[in-house]
Chains A and B, each alone.
Chain A
Amino acid sequence: MVTRGFTGRRQPPETGARLPPGQYLTQDFPILQIGPNPSVDLATWQFTLRDGSRPIKTWSWEAMQALPQTTWHGDIHCVTKWSKFDTTWEGVTFDDLLTDAGIEAPTEYLLAESYDDYSTNIPVADLTDGKAMIALRYDGQPIHADHGGPARFFVPHLYFWKSAKWLKGLRFTKADTAGYWELRGYHMYGDPWREQRYIGD
């Protein structure tokens, strides 16, 4: 159905090729979350890897900093339709985290869990081989609380709600278990290139 008088603003080809369907390019860094920033103190900050309810390993802030640090450079895409190009993130890859814990992933799915009780589900296959990290720095600086610091999950090939802010842990689950937004109609997987915003997309 055509809307009378709408022509739209086309992106230059080099921009268009990098934009998933339905996205637009922003130079800002918009902020979306369900509530206030939780207060997270680095002195008591903990990150826990769990298999269901069983803790596998817990890291302090210092211990997390001591793990190998990896830099990632590229584009991020939010389900609310903005994309931001050429962002730089640094942190601990999911692979390095598992190596330090001395385990292989015990299940095929997990929930990323946050200090504000947010959660989101991701298949383990989408996290391995350098595809995801516990991000500790953005643009070379500590991550501001508005952007999910001190540590946020970072899974840039999926819509950014999968990159949970204020991360406190990862929990392996036997089945693909819906997180906060997934319980509220958002897509279980969230691939921006297939425009999987909501259930049924």
Chain B
Amino acid sequence: MSSATSATEAAFAPIVFHWYEAEVAAIAPVTPTVKSVRLRCAIADRQRAGQHVDVRLTAEDGYRASRSYSVASPPDGSGTLELLVEGLPDGEVSGWFFDTAEVGDRLEMRGPIGGSFSWDGPDGGPLLLAGGGSGVVPLLAMLRRRAEVAPEIPAALIFSVRSRAEAIALDELEARHRDEPHFSLFLRTTREGDGRRVDDALVAAALDWTGAPGKVFLCGSNRFVSPTADLIVAAGVPAGIIRTERFGA
């Protein structure tokens, strides 16, 4: 087939996904609307940066609900992995994480899932990443992995958020921008400051920083991903190297 099928991806299939027990190892607020949840589970440390897991909760009467979450942590040998859960107003599963979950609570998890939206050192770069809101989570995993295994690979993150207070991991990303010579953060706040969205000038600046990218990953709502992907294609990046992950309407 085309660029859509790479040897790296094919190596990850076929996979049979089983449910595994998981335990909440730590839980802490990250922003007013997002919590970090560390889960201890047999499938931790198997993920490639960017992949997601399914989480399943079961009520006393056997009723079950499951949702998918991107993993924020690269494999780190700790036997745990980190999810960043946004407390949505009527979120059936996220609401439990946000309002009820405590250290020691048990649930189920399966994965990691999603080989095409994932990255590891041997995949190379340069890396152009673009995240809208909580869509930054799988990209954060890639940046954390890159810092450990391939810090020399040029990388840029276009990060669009409503406000700085709502930006996930902003302290970490600004520290990386400051301390990592080959990484640059391109932040846009849409509802404070000059309130601008991602535009062709910002995409051009990010591409200027990375040089011609080898891998491009975009994640966020479709309102963010679709126009941003179009801008990146219009800037001359081949569509075949762009991978997207979208959520919501």
Interface residues of A (CB under 8 A from B): 1-10, 22, 24, 28-38, 80-81, 116-119, 146, 180, 183-185, 198-201
Contacts and interface: CB of A to CB of B under 8 A. Distances in A.
A30 B246 contact: yes
A4 B226 contact: no
Contact of A35 (B9, B67, B90, B242): B242
A8 B63 contact: yes
B150 interface: no
Contacts of A199: 14-17
Contacts of B115: 184-185
User: Which range holds the interface residue count of chain B?
Assistant: 35 or more
A7 B57 CA distance: 9
9 contacts: A3-B107, A7-B59, A30-B248, A34-B244, A35-B244, A36-B242, A38-B239, A183-B13, A185-B17
A168 B15 CA distance: 29
Interface in B92-113: 92, 96, 100-102, 105-108, 113
A24 B65 contact: yes
Contacts, number: 136
Contact of A33 (B68, B233, B246): B246
Sorted from nearest, which 6 A-B pairs have the closest CB atoms? Answer: A28-B249, A36-B229, A200-B16, A117-B2, A5-B100, A185-B15
Contacts of A32: 245-246
Given A34-B117, A183-B14, 8 more contacts: A1-B21, A1-B107, A4-B105, A6-B57, A37-B229, A116-B239, A184-B13, A200-B16
Contacts of A5: 96, 100-101, 105
- The binding surface of chain A is classed by DSSP as loop
A88 to B, nearest CB: 18
Interface in B39-60: 57-60
Contacts of A29: 249
A23 B15 CA distance: 22
Contacts of B249: 28-31
Contacts of B105: 3-5
Contact of A81 (B15, B68, B102): B68
